[in-house]
Copies of this chain bind each other. A is one copy, B any other.
Amino acid sequence: MKFIHTSDWHLGRQFHNVSLLEDQSAVLDQLIEYIAQHPVDAVVVAGDIFDRSVPPTAAVELLDQTVTRVCGELNTPMIIIPGNHDGAQRLGFGASQMKQAGLHIISNFKQMLEPVVLESEQAGQVAFYGMPYSDPEQVRFAFGADVKDYDQAHQVLVEEIKAHLQHAQKNVLLSHCFVDGGESSDSERPLSIGGSDRVSADHFRCFDYVALGHLHQPQQRSEAHIRYSGSLMKYSFSEQHQKKGFTLVTLDQNGFANAEHVALKAPREMRVLEGELDDIIARGKTDPNADDYLLVRLLDKHAILNPMDKLRAVYPNVLHLEKPGMLIGVEQQMAQAKLARSEVDMFRDFFREAQESELSSAQDQALSAIVKDLLKQ
């Protein structure tokens, strides 16, 4: 049995105030074309299908077209869980009506325990369990479990699923979380502050495959069958060298057999260009990919009038400009330094806001000691 593992589509995302919907649509076309050419048994999407809980109408329409082509025209079941960017209840509307048509949206804990079972010659029955994205609070409330962090919450959820596993079946889990040690990117929204969002890969070992979402870089965690597919496309300049696409998973009679990264190519890449203005403009005149989304770092030492206009004459999609080489850069750096307040400063600000008074000097000393201790760890 072969299935596609993908995640983090973030449909409707804006990037430096530019809508990426057209690019997302082009990449999804490639995904659909792949399925048309190389039929698979299922497509699983491990969360963050939309970029926000109330997505723009055009993003809803793009997802509608995509599921109609995959489930309808290509007759390929899709299994979707919400991520931290999605609104689970909204995404879950009509879920029970859609199941018959092969669209399975798993958006609550009840549905989590009712796997989607698909039959295959090579691997027999394969049960897909979807764990909708959930924070410790939701797990505490739903299961009356005393959980303090994401790790304990996911342990409870996995235990619930384990009680339902049928060992004659192969078992696949979809989960949207931050597995400990994973490599993060700039375009992910933190699940919580301070590291309490990390989940141990140990919980996941018992499944034949774990399709993870949240981290935007494709990667395996701890074992070859516990993987992030990475995001549909690049969502920050820091991802310029990351591979983007989906993971093609093969299961056989022994369970996990293989995972292969299949590349998808966005019509416009995200790139960083560094150099002096004249050089960059000269390069741009013959650059075949001049409409890529660009961050330009100008190294010129002197002031330049309207650099953005000049750059956009050859690179129309310059989205951000940095001028580390110019004098004005010094001021920028000073401003940034001012912004980069220490943890102690930030807590002082917070205390002032919340308590409408200053920390006493004893409190201040205690705070400094605690922060110092924490930063040492």
Contact status of A64 and B87, CB under 8 A, knowing A72-B97, A101-B98, A103-B97: no
Main secondary structure of the interface of A (DSSP, over half): helix
Measured CB to CB, the closest approach of chain B to A21, in angstroms, equals: 13
Which of chain A's residues 66-99 have a Cβ closer than 8 Å to chain B? Answer: 67-68, 71-72, 87, 89-90, 92-99
From A53-61, A154-162, A283-291, A353-361, the one touching the partner chain is A53-61
Whether A100 is near chain B, meaning CB under 8 Å from some CB there, is: yes
Whether A63 is near chain B, meaning CB under 8 Å from some CB there, is: yes
Measured CB to CB, the closest approach of chain B to A77, in angstroms, equals: 11
Measured CB to CB, the closest approach of chain B to A17, in angstroms, equals: 21
Whether the pair B103, A101 counts as a contact (CB closer than 8 A) is: no
Measured CB to CB, the closest approach of chain B to A84, in angstroms, equals: 16
- Count how many chain A residues have C-beta atoms less than 8 Å from C-beta atoms of the other chain: 26
A30 to B102 CA separation, bound complex (whole angstroms): 32
Measured CB to CB, the closest approach of chain B to A39, in angstroms, equals: 19
Whether the pair B101, A57 counts as a contact (CB closer than 8 A) is: no
Our pick among B53, B57, B95, B103 for the contact of A89 (Cβ within 8 Å) is B57
Whether the pair A67, B89 counts as a contact (CB closer than 8 A) is: no
A89 to B67 CA separation, bound complex (whole angstroms): 15
**CB-nearest residue of chain B relative to A102?**
B97
Residues of B within 8 A of A92 (CB): 64
Whether the pair B60, A93 counts as a contact (CB closer than 8 A) is: yes
Whether the pair A57, B97 counts as a contact (CB closer than 8 A) is: no
Residues of B within 8 A of A95 (CB): 64
Whether the pair B96, A94 counts as a contact (CB closer than 8 A) is: no
Most buried by B among A53, A60, A71: A60
Residues in A lying within 8 Å of B, measured CB to CB = 53-54, 57, 60-61, 63-64, 67-68, 71-72, 87, 89-90, 92-103
Given A57-B89, A60-B90, A67-B97, 10 additional A-B pairs, CB 8 A: A54-B54, A60-B89, A60-B93, A64-B92, A67-B94, A68-B96, A94-B97, A94-B103, A97-B98, A99-B101
